[in-house]
Chains A and B, each alone.
Chain A
Amino acid sequence: MATRGFFGKRPTDDVGERLPPGQYRTDDFPVLSAGPTPRVALADWRFTLKDGVRPVMSWNWEAFNQLPQSKLTRDIHCVTKWSKFDTAWSGVMIDDLLAEAGIAAPSEFTLAHSYDGYSTNVPTDDLINGKAMVATHFDGQPILPDHGGPARLLVPHLYFWKSAKWVNGLQFTRRDEAGFWELRGYHMRGDPWREQRFAGD
């Protein structure tokens, strides 16, 4: 049913077809997080891959930056309704992290962990085969702390809360374990094209 008197600012077709339902385009880069921006020193930074509770491999900042570098330019969609087009990231693909660790993805589910205590669950299929990376650069520059630097997960085809800021590890889990926002009512997968914002969507 139409809302009385509402006509809206309909985007042009070339923009509209890139916008998932309920989203609007912005050229800004809004910042969202559950708490303060953590102060992460590169000298202390580590990234760890775990299979369950067992650490598989761990990198310090220097070693991490020696890994194969890739670029992804993608549209991103935040559950708070903004979308930003053609965002350009570089970092290390999850496929390359697994290859470096000498393993295939050991389970269907993954939890990403962050320096601020945040976590988010992502189906492993959404992380592999060229879909996701641990990004260290945005627009050719180191990612700013407010935007998740030194490193953030980038899973651009899911709502952006899945792209955990200040990421410090990926943990493969046997079950789909809810992360921070997922425990608080957000969707376990978060596909913007199916408008999976909240549990039950």
Chain B
Amino acid sequence: MDRIPDIAPQPERLAWQMATVIAITTETPRVKLFRLKPADWHGFTAGQHVDIRLTAPDGYQAERSYSIGSAPDGSGEIELAIDLIDAGEVSPFFHEVVEVGDAIELRGPIGGHFIWRAEDGGPLLLMAGGSGLVPLMSMLRYRAAAAPEIPAALIYSARRHEDLIWRDELFRRATEDPNFTLLATLSREATPVAGIRQGRIDRALVDAALQSLPTTPKTTYICGSNPFVGAASSFALDAGLPFASIKAERYGG
């Protein structure tokens, strides 16, 4: 496997730059995907995010952070998955106003902790709640291209079946990739769905993910709302995973 050319750390200085919206996809009823091409991009590391800055005509500005869901793939483009927050300021703008061809100001890539490179090794245990999947998806896609021999398991909790982001791709990867196990669970779906568990994340689900891996995970990445991360990290600690091997990123902040 050739070395992926797009891996880059957070730069010494983060400059604001313009990015062009290349494509917009409605992924779930509440999540749209935005493919962006920044003007001056030197790659990123799976797990990193960008800061977006929007400017009103009178100069008022709003900033938010969004994780990158695409893999570092040398394309010079990044994909953000933006979850609609009804009373929000920035996500409704993206969902209702932004069009292909628009210019959006951003800076990045940002983050030096919640990241994974092939040389960091595995096995990997990934736990995602809702849109907390986004940085973990970047890791999974990158792993499949750069280091498919590294075992990985993903626990992914969403509300309903329709809310599972990248659902078809995840199940396809789980079917095709012998070193990747997907354990999806739905917390608010009334109708059972084949191959998907019902209910919130619990210790049994964490144990099942651990059993799917040949050895104890080298690193566990947990991303989601604070209640999700709190529960998932408690189950991980209870299952005996070392405190220092667990990395968390909490949304809703």
Q: Which residues of A contact B (CB under 8 A)?
A: 1-10, 21-24, 28, 30-39, 78, 80-82, 116-117, 146, 180-181, 183-185, 197-201
A34 touching B230, Cβ below 8 Å: no
Instruction: Contact check, B252 vs A6: say whether CB atoms are below 8 A apart.
Output: no
- A185 adjacent to B112 (CB under 8 Å): yes
- B65 x A35 contact (CB < 8 A): no
- Chain B nearest Cβ from A117, distance in angstroms: 6
Q: Top 8 closest A-B pairs, CB basis?
A: A184-B112, A200-B13, A36-B233, A30-B253, A22-B63, A185-B10, A5-B97, A31-B226
A49 to B93, CA, bound (A): 49
Expressed in whole angstroms, the Cα–Cα distance for A117 and B113 within the complex equals 13
Q: How many residues of chain B get a CB closer than 8 Å to chain A's CBs?
A: 44
15 A–B contacts, CB within 8 A, in A order: A1-B55, A3-B54, A4-B103, A5-B93, A6-B55, A6-B56, A22-B62, A23-B63, A33-B248, A35-B243, A36-B236, A36-B243, A146-B230, A185-B111, A198-B10
Given contacts A32-B253, A34-B113, contact A7 B57 (CB under 8 A): yes
B62-A24 in contact (CB<8A): yes
B interface SS class: mixed
Q: Which of A23, A116, A199 contacts B12 (CB 8 A)?
A: A199
Q: Does B247 contact A (CB under 8 A)?
A: yes
Known: A6-B54, A30-B250, A146-B226. 9 other contacts (CB 8 A): A6-B62, A7-B57, A8-B93, A9-B62, A21-B61, A22-B61, A30-B253, A33-B248, A34-B248
